[in-house]
Amino acid sequence: MKQFDVAIVGGGIAGLVASIDLAREGKSVVLFEKSSQLGGRAISVKKNGAFDQLYETAVRSGVSVITGKNATEIEHDGAVRKIKFADGQEMDVTHVISATPPAVTSRLLGAAGCKSVLRWKEQARAIEAASLTLSLKRLSAPDHFAVLGLDQPVYFINQSKFTRLSEDGASVVNITKANGTGGTDAKADERFLERTLDLIQPGWRKEVVARQYLPHIAVAYDFMNAGREDRFPGPAVPEIAGLYVAGEWATHGENLADAAAASGRRAVRRVLKDMEAVRSGRETILV
Ligand SMILES: Cc1cc2nc3c(=O)[nH]c(=O)nc-3n(C[C@H](O)[C@H](O)[C@H](O)COP(=O)(O)OP(=O)(O)OC[C@H]3O[C@@H](n4cnc5c(N)ncnc54)[C@H](O)[C@@H]3O)c2cc1C
């Protein structure tokens, strides 16, 4: 496999932002995404959205993007050595940004693992939501395109108001109930979302073309919570030279997509600083 200055695992917002920043700094970058599409959890806003622009910018900046490539291990011995993939391929590499959830990053480090990443994984408190997406032939109340609950943490959006999401003119709408750190009943949530939709789009049940209900979708894999021992996880993994983390869970105070983008940028700044320290013979001070 061709050699790169930096490999990024995970093609969500965090990985894409990191890849663009590195390429713009003149580094050769490869980004591996296990799915056939990039975007991660931002995929639902893919069409004509900010995410498309990120992808196009990455490719224009010279990032090598490889989809359908599932990383199974980041081999290390105090320093990053190689990445292994599910298809049996391997790549020698000295700098890796893992822009995947904390549990995935931890798994990639194999049996030897590493204390910091294990701690970030174990102390993470995911924020969940129950989400119902529907494709509707007709909307009874087209003016109701965005609704925010005041007494309940629920929001509705007619995504088709802002971008074309269907070929046949159907409206794609989503209603989501934020569930904090989870523990809610999937069936009860589904009934609640349906009843709320009765108020927003009366008669919607007769108009359904397609439907997807995700009862426990992870909106964030972690946030700045009081149970965190490390207030600021990453970007560098202290025990493994050349390994960095990014993703909205590695927030230093930002939220959601902002946190994903900011963490990617933070990882890049640290990679560049470490590379410069090695080049000039200085050691990096870990903070
Ligand atoms: C229902 C919902 C609504 C949301 N609404 C908003 C909103 O209104 N505003 C907002 O700011 N944010 C919102 N968010 C949050 C936002 O979408 C996320 O914070 C952001 O997309 C996270 O990006 P990320 O790059 O950190 O992670 P992800 O998008 O999860 O990216 C990680 C990527 O890594 C890949 N990957 C994992 N393991 C491997 C492996 N072994 N090898 C290769 N690739 C791998 C995954 O396939 C994935 O593409 C919402 C999220 C959800 C789920």
Q: Which residue has the higher pLDDT, 261 or 165?
A: 261
- Say if residues 217 and 44 touch (Cβ distance below 8 Å): no
pLDDT for 238 beyond 70: yes
CB atoms within 10 A of CB 88: 7
Give the pLDDT score at 222.
94
Last residue of some domain: 220, 238, 267? 220
CATH number at residue 139: 3.90.660.10
Please indicate, yes or no, whether residues 167 and 248 belong to a single structural domain of this protein.
no
Q: How far apart are CA 287 and CA 284, in angstroms?
A: 9
Measure the CA–CA gap between 116 and 242, rounded to whole angstroms: 14
Report pLDDT digits (tens) over 61-84. 999 999 999 999 999 999 999 999
Do 173 and 136 touch, CB atoms closer than 8 A?
yes
Q: What is the pLDDT of residue 160?
A: 85
Helices 13-24, 256-279: crossing angle, 10 deg rounding: 40
Q: Are residues 157 and 24 in the same domain?
A: no
Which one of 174, 201, 220 terminates a domain? 220
pLDDT (mean) for 93-103:
97
Atom of ligand 1 nearest to the CA of 14: 25
Same domain for 211 and 70?
no
Which residue, judged by its Cα, is nearest atom 20 of ligand 1?
Answer: 257
Ligand 1 center–CA 262 separation, angstroms: 13
For residue 169, pLDDT beyond 90: no
From 100, 109, 217, mutation site for ligand 1 pocket: most ligand atoms within 8 A of C-beta? 100
- Calpha distance 71→115 (Å, rounded): 21
Q: Are 129 and 178 within 8 A, CB to CB?
A: yes
Torsions phi, psi for 243 (to 5 deg): -110, 135
Q: Does 142 share its domain with 114?
A: no
| Mean pLDDT to the nearest integer, 213-234 | 91
Mean pLDDT over 13-28 rounds to: 96
Full DSSP string of 123-158: T---EEEEEEEEEES--S-TT--EEE-SSSSEEEEE
Q: Which atom of ligand 1 is nearest to 259's Cα?
A: 19
User: 46: number of CA atoms within 13 Å, CB side?
Assistant: 12
45: containing domain: 6-124+223-279
Examine the domain organization and report whether 100 and 229 are in the same domain: yes
Average pLDDT score, the chain: 91
In sequence order, the 6+-apart residues with CB closer than 8 A to the CB of 143 are: none
| Cα dist from 173 to 115, 139, 203, 277, whole Å | 43, 10, 14, 50
Could you tell me the pLDDT band of residue 33, with boundaries at 50, 70 and 90? very high
109 backbone dihedrals φ, ψ, rounded to 5°: -85, 0
Q: In percent, how much of the chain has pLDDT > 90? A: 76
236 and 247 in a single domain? The answer is yes
Using the mean position of ligand 1's atoms as its centre, give its distance from the Cα of residue 143 in Å. 30
pLDDT value, residue 287: 45
The DSSP-derived string for 240-283 is: SBTEEE-SGGG-SS--HHHHHHHHHHHHHHHHHHHHHHHHTTPP
- Strand order across the 96-98 sheet: 64-67, 29-33, 6-9, 96-98, 243-245
**Residue 287 counted as domain residue:** no
Question: Considering the chain, what percentage of its residues have pLDDT values greater than 70?
Answer: 93
Residue 41 per-residue DSSP state = G
103, 194: one domain = no
Report whether pLDDT(44) > 70. no
Report which protein residue has its CA nearest ligand 1's atom 29. Answer: 40
pLDDT beyond 80 at 182: no
Q: pLDDT band at residue 265, thresholds of 50, 70 and 90?
A: very high
Residue 50 has a pLDDT of: 57
Domain edge (last residue) among 197, 220, 243:
220
Amino acid type, 243: L
Clarify whether residues 32 and 56 are in a common domain.
yes
Q: Given ligand 1 and candidates 89, 132, 256, which is best to mutate, with the most ligand atoms within 8 Å of its CB?
A: 256
**Mean pLDDT calculated for residue range 6-23:** 96
Q: Looking at the domain assignment, is residue 269 inside a domain?
A: yes
* SS3 at position 104: helix
pLDDT of residue 49 exceeding 80, the answer is no
pLDDT at 46 (0 to 100): 46
CATH number at residue 17: 3.50.50.60
Q: What atom in ligand 1 is closest to the CA of residue 247?
A: 26
> For 113-161, how does the pLDDT look when each residue is reduced to its tens digit (9 = 90+)?
899 999 999 999 999 999 999 999 999 999 999 999 999 999 999 988 8
Average pLDDT over residues 250-254: 95
Per the structure, how many domains does the chain have?
2
Q: Residue 47: pLDDT band by 50, 70, 90 thresholds?
A: very low
* Predicted local confidence at residue 51, as pLDDT: 62
Across the chain, the runs of DSSP E, i.e. the strands, are 6-9, 29-33, 64-67, 71-76, 80-85, 90-92, 96-98, 127-136, 146-148, 154-158, 171-178, 208-220, 243-245
Residues 38 and 176 occupy one common structural domain: no
